Amino acid sequence: MLAAGPLLHAQGLGLERGGRELFRDLSFAVEPGHLMQVEGANGAGKTSLLRILAGLSRYGFSGSVERCAPLLYLGHHSAVKAMLSPRENLAWHISGAGSYSREQIDEALARVGLYGYEDVPSHALSAGQHRRVNLARLYLSAAPLWLLDEPFTAIDRDGVAELEALLVGHAQQGGAVVLTSHQSLSVSYQVAMLSLSAGLQP
């Protein structure tokens, strides 16, 4: 997984929405080993920034993003299909990234605490369990760069601690994580903070 040089390079990013400047002239590099948290009030532009970094927003902003390595983006909305089981959902999501056995998929679900829930229709799962189905993708990802929008939402205390350990482990192995969160990470690892100062305003 080790990569040389930045995994992502943002140059002069700026964004206006509804006549309001959310951020401007943001330049930074995401290097192997980086754990970066984007913080800011509701409406500050965290999700917008992450989508720009991921390449999901292609227009309407200034500056440029150079993506130098494969990335995995997890949005803050649940991408879990209610009619499908966790196993089916996970299999569908990762199908474009490689070939995974049923054992590998079940192992990833077990890692996020969904052992025994593999075949349950997802509409019968809680919000936190939905979130865990999404997060299971991290255990199967070979992408060095993870862009995670509010990954801790709806996750219980034990789950947060496990996720924090996963993120730190990923960075320690030469990957990098850029995440948005309203809560401080409780990790023994350097977290680079990127603060967006715009927020809820009339």
Ligand X SMILES: Nc1ncnc2c1ncn2[C@@H]1O[C@H](COP(=O)(O)OP(=O)(O)OP(=O)(O)O)[C@@H](O)[C@H]1O
* Binding footprint of ligand X on the chain (CB under 6 A): 17-18, 22, 40, 42-48
Q: Round the CA-based radius of gyration of the chain to a whole number and report it.
A: 17
Distance CA 36, CA 17 (A): 24
Nearer to ligand X, 39 or 88 (CB): 39
Nearer to ligand X, 43 or 63 (CB): 43
Structure token digits, residue 55:
């390449």
Instruction: Report which residue's Cβ sits closest to ligand X.
Output: 43
Nearer to ligand X, 33 or 43 (CB): 43
Cβ atoms of 60 and 15 closer than 8 Å: yes
Strands (E), the chain: 8-17, 20-30, 35-39, 61-67, 71-74, 145-149, 176-180, 192-195
Beta strands 192-195 and 176-180, pairing class: unpaired
Q: Give least dist CB 76 to ligand X, A.
A: 7
Q: In terms of DSSP H, where are the helices of 98-156?
A: 102-111, 127-140
Nearer to ligand X, 14 or 43 (CB): 43
Q: Give least dist CB 155 to ligand X, A.
A: 16
Cβ atoms of 57 and 48 closer than 8 Å: yes
Q: Give least dist CB 165 to ligand X, A.
A: 24
Q: Give least dist CB 81 to ligand X, A.
A: 23
- Other C-beta atoms within 10 Å of 148: how many? 24
Q: Give least dist CB 48 to ligand X, A.
A: 3
